[in-house]
Structure formats: structure tokens, C-alpha cells
Amino acid sequence: MRRHARTWISAWVLGLSFALVVLGLVPANAAPPTTTGCSATRQLLFEPIPDQGSTTPPENTTTVVVRAVKSNGSTDTTCTDAISLSIANDPGDDTTTLSCASAPCSAPAVKGVATFTASLNVAGSGYVLEACSPTTNGGSCPPVASPHFLSGLFAVYNNSTPCLNNQTCSVTASGAQVSSQISVPGRIGKFVRAGVWGVPEAGPTGVADLANLDCAGYDEISETATTFNYTGTDGKIIVNTISADVMKEIANQGVAHLEWCGASSVPFDDKFGNHAPFDSTLGMFVGLWPDCPPGSGDPMPFAPCVFARNGGGGGTGQIFAAAPPFDQGGARH
């Protein structure tokens, strides 16, 4: 894959030159937290995995619940340590701040359970938080050695829009290289989300960051990734607009050469008729999305697939795709 110089994207970017960004949540000169329990705790579990819908209100916070667990899987109800949170994987711009309703991000366990209202200020897909207990982690928080108690992967989006019944619901996220619009059939109480982010050109691979998407048979022209999510069960229509500067990377600036290098949470067959391989780092299936059958009308029965490519005016290019129900993921072009 050829790398290109990246134009920085403001707002929500999900890239990563992944130097595990771990925030020091306990000042060096602070007295160690009082520990009156947790001697039976063997691990700290996140229940459920965090979910932050947007970087702007009202969807800009997430409730994080951490449970102290004994070796037999039961809650250590005697645990009263001050449990802290930090960022273990930052797929944003590596300057992301984790903030909580009460600073720092540390809360006493109540009968073995600590609850936080937390917020990350930069969007990205592949965030991981780490929980730490002075007793369970040997007195050092954030920990400098094992054990490490990590959340599952989760995304933070630029924008999140609530939907209404029987009305088309859409949301847009924009960056310097790509903008993305996601539309769904509206369902009351459901949310549609979109995000765009860039990735530093230099940085290790093998980390959970959709900006590392690389599809065989295609030379990605953008250092920008887009991501989408819908909390309902319908399919999604996605329109990504690629800037004129990026389109110049394509010979003759031909939109016919645009492809959709996609990561999907559901299995699919790629452009070459092969089963898209599962990327264990991203936790998604990755490959070039196929074109929808020509003249098929509604593309949704064939999703995921690309159903149109157009010039967007001013030298920009647009690519239109359908994502199936239950699918969430992202793309590079």
C-alpha cells in the first residue's frame, strides 16, 4: 500500500501512531489511595463495553462500569479500592483526553463495583480503556506491568443523530480529505452515527485502528478513514465524498477507479468473489466491497456493495454503498 502525506483532520479523527497513550490519573506527589479490600480480587471487568456516540453533547459521554471479580467469577463485594481509568489504546490523534464527571478518573468501588461517567474528546474507532486497582495491580496506577484489565474495542463518533419513526434519518461527518453521510429508515429511539479521522503517516501496524485498513488489489489514496453505526436493525446507505486533492492521486482523476476498502462486523464476499478474511486486530471482516448487480434497483438485498460512483463537483469524487442490517464498520478509499 502506498502511503501519502496526510492532511490533518480536525474534530473526530480515528487514526493512530499507536504509542499506548496512558493518562497519568494519579499525580506523582499524591498519597496512594486507601485500600480496605480487594484482597480477593483477581481481575477487573468492564460491563458492558463502553459506547460513546459523539464528541459533542448530548451523546458525548458514556457510563463505564468496572466490576472487581474473584477467581470463581463472582463479584468481590468486599472490594473498596479507588479504581481508576486510563486510555490503553488511542486511535484518535494521540492527544485525546479522558475526562470523568469527577476528576481524576478514579472512583471507589461500592461492593466491588465502580461507576464512571466518562468522555473522550477525539473520535476514533479502536479505543481501549484500562482499569486499575492499587491492591490488584500492586500499587501502581496506571500499571507499568501486568496484570492489565482492558475494555473491549469501541468507537467514538463525530456526530450522532436521533431518529424518528418512518422518516429518513441521516448524519454527516466531515474531514479535510473525506466527508461521509449515512442514511437509514428512521426508527424512534434509535441513533445513526458517523465519524471521519486521519492517521499519522508513521506508526506501527497491528493495532486496532480502522485507518490501517489495507485491501489487496487496491492502492488506497486516502490517509482518512470513515466509520458508521446504527443502533437499529435496518440497512444503511453511505455516501463518501473524496476531496479534489485526494482524487488527483488517481490516474486521470477517474471516479470509476474509486473502490471501497471496507471493514464490516458481518461476513461478506469481496469484489473478487472470495470470503473477506477476518482481521483479528480490528475484530472485523476486511476486503474490497463488490459492486451491486447493475440494474438491480434496490441495492440492500445485495449489501454490502457499491452501487454508484459520481463526480461530486469541483474535482471531488463520490462513492455510494449499501451496508446490510446489523453491520457497523468503516472504510478507506
Whether residue 262 is predicted with pLDDT greater than 80 in this model: the reply is yes
Q: Which residues lie closer than 8 Å to 72 by C-beta, 6 or more apart? A: none
In this predicted model, which residue has the larger pLDDT, 49 or 91? 49
155 within 8 A of 227, measured Cβ to Cβ: yes
Average the pLDDT over 205-213 and give the result. 66
Output the 3-class SS for 44-60: EEECCCCCECCCCCCCC
| Rounded-to-integer distance, Cα 32 and Cα 134, Å | 8
Q: How confident is the model at residue 252 (pLDDT cuts 50, 70, 90)?
A: low
Whether residue 117 is predicted with pLDDT greater than 90 in this model: the reply is yes
The whole-chain average pLDDT of the chain stands at 83
pTM: 0.78
Quickly list H helices, 227-282: 244-247
Q: Which of 58-62, 180-184, 321-325 has the lowest mean pLDDT?
A: 58-62
**Bridge partner residues of 69 (DSSP):** 43, 75
CATH node for 43-156: 2.60.40.10
Go through 155-171 and write b for each residue having 16 or more CB atoms within 10 A of its CB, e for each that does not.
bbbbbbbbbeeeeebbb
* pLDDT in the model for residue 223: 84
Whether residue 10 is predicted with pLDDT greater than 60 in this model: the reply is no
**What are the structural domain ranges in the chain?**
43-156, 159-332
As given in the structure block, the three cell numbers for residue 36 are: 480496605
